[in-house]
Amino acid sequence: METAIISTSTDVATYPAEASGSDPRDRLIVALDFPSPARALQLADELRGLCRWVKVGMELYYAAGNSVVERLRARGFDVFLDLKLYDIPNTVAGAVRSVTGIGASLLTVHASGGAAMLRAAAEAADRTDAPKLLAVTVVTSMDAAELSGVGVSDTPAAQALRLARLAQSEGIDGMVCSAQEIAALRDAVGPRATLVVPGIRPSGAKAGDQKRVATPADAIAQGASMLVVGRPITQADDPAEATAAILAEMAR
């Protein structure tokens, strides 16, 4: 496939360093949300050369542990370890240290864990072989009604902004947010912060259980650093073709 070129500007964050080029393959993360490593590794092999980043979430990590990260790294992929750590500060810091050195490039913690937890995580990750941390703001399956049900009266956008500022103040310069919050977070945390955006659905795709979604083109135009795409690729009849189509839309 011929490499497509993305037009970039100083308003678009580029983080980590691998995402700083104009190649859309550096900005697409394919979510390997499978219950066993065999299918995840099979799909990774099918997509080799098309994508450079893969996500290992809780479903796959709990089934396969650190070994699946190491096997993906051996195949040449960068790994986004999406564990959404949330616990007391000491436990989260210990978890960050436990996964340090296995080869993951990015690791998520929940921003709603609070200042002390975020600070402890950032301190634990302050070493050269540790993954870069991303603070999850409001997951894309939640809307205002869902937030209200857990006692948050603000809109998802307001809550995401509050949590992003909190995370940055405690030393975490990357955030996970929906496309609807990109512009506000970019203004608040600056052009160098990483904004990783899930809930991406190509034009015409079903939203599924996601409530705050966007197309790849819309998310890139808003200033997303990287996009996470799962089911539109993993459940496609031809995952490689679906990936190529998303890359083309990102490039446009």
Q: CA-CA distance, 205 to 64, in Å (whole number)?
A: 30
Question: Which of 3-17, 119-133, 158-172, 238-252 has the lowest average pLDDT?
Answer: 3-17
Structural domains in the chain, CATH included, are 17-246 (3.20.20.70)
The pTM of this model reads: 0.86
Q: Which residues 6+ apart lie within 8 Å of 142 measured at CB? A: 156, 211, 212
Query: CB-side exposure of 140: number of CA atoms within 13 Å?
Result: 25
Per the annotation, the verdict on 55 as an active-site residue is no
Quickly tell me which residue has 């912060």 as its tokens: 193
Percentage with pLDDT > 70 across the chain: 87
pLDDT tens per residue, range 121-172: 999 999 999 999 999 999 888 888 888 888 887 888 999 999 999 999 999 9
Q: CA-CA distance, 230 to 213, in Å (whole number)?
A: 13
Q: CA-CA distance, 75 to 30, in Å (whole number)?
A: 15
Q: CA-CA distance, 31 to 12, in Å (whole number)?
A: 22
Out of 84, 132, 206, 211, the active site residue is 84
